[in-house]
Amino acid sequence: MSFKMAELNYYELLELNRQATARGIEQAYTRARQTFSGDASAIYSLLTPHELQQIRQQLETAYQTLIHPQRRAEYDARLARQEAKGTEPTATSAAVAPSAPPAAPPPEPKELPAAPAAADGEDEEENELRLPEKLVPPPAEIEEFSGAVLRQLRVQQDLTIKDVAEMTNLGTRYLEYIEEENFSLLPVRVYLRGYLTLFAKALGYQPERIVADYLRRYEQENRHDQPEIEKKSWWQRRKFL
């Protein structure tokens, strides 16, 4: 399996701490399904169809294990034993076999609206990204890269929102939400990171610092709304920059 996904346990896959409640597991799984639904064309610039299928299968296995109390208890015990030995169960390890016949599958969590694939009026077919080939470090004199700063940098380069949307294959509405810091309407962190990376590259900048600054602001705003999500995402282990 690619980008070290095989090294992750089920909690890391769903971005949960180990004290997560059933409600937290449902919410994390719903967010993950929305993130990796593949409905948004931008995700194909970050993952291949095969990688997407792998992720969906492992997320489903993780959810089915953690949402069932007995399976979760057995998995937690196994996780503790493996960690004591210096290893831990991973996403590709054999699932814990329940001692009792498996119960009926839990009800499907409520679907969240999928992120729009493209700006209003755009063609649905995928377009090649048209990003600058040479990227430079972002201005050192800028102390923090916020949405307002990104807007100023875009305007300074005589780029419209539509220009950036065409360069990145992202929807104009999400680019506007980023600049407005309308965090409640932005996608989950792992998805947002990819959007910010493309936005920064469209402006001609190396994305690492811009992404880190913006996500720090995003996490501060959402800290109380998502208490069970760990600060560091496993998505950061993927080397797609």
| CATH number, domain 5-98, options 3.40.50.12780, 1.10.287.110, 3.90.850.10, 1.20.58.410 | 1.10.287.110
pLDDT at 228: 45
The domain spans of the chain are 5-98, 147-222
CB-count exposure of residue 58 (10 Å: 0-12, 13-18, 19+): buried
pLDDT at 68: 92
What tens-digit pLDDT sequence spans the chain (241 residues)? 444 556 778 888 888 888 888 888 988 888 777 777 655 455 555 567 777 788 888 889 999 999 999 999 999 999 888 888 876 555 555 444 444 444 455 555 444 444 444 444 444 334 467 898 899 999 999 999 999 999 999 999 999 999 999 999 888 889 999 999 998 888 888 889 999 999 999 999 999 999 999 999 998 887 645 444 444 455 545 544 3
pLDDT at 118: 43
pLDDT at 119: 43
- Nearest in space to 113 (alpha carbons), one of 62, 201, 163, 185: 185
pLDDT at 93: 54
CATH C-level class of 147-222:
mainly alpha
Other beta carbons within 10 Å of 211: 21
Between the alpha carbon of residue 29 and those of residues 14, 15, 83, the distances in Å are: 6, 9, 24
pLDDT at 90: 56
Instruction: Name the one residue in this structure whose structure tokens are 């063609």.
Output: 123
The 10s digit of each residue's pLDDT in 83-129 is 888 765 555 554 444 444 444 555 554 444 444 444 444 443 344 67
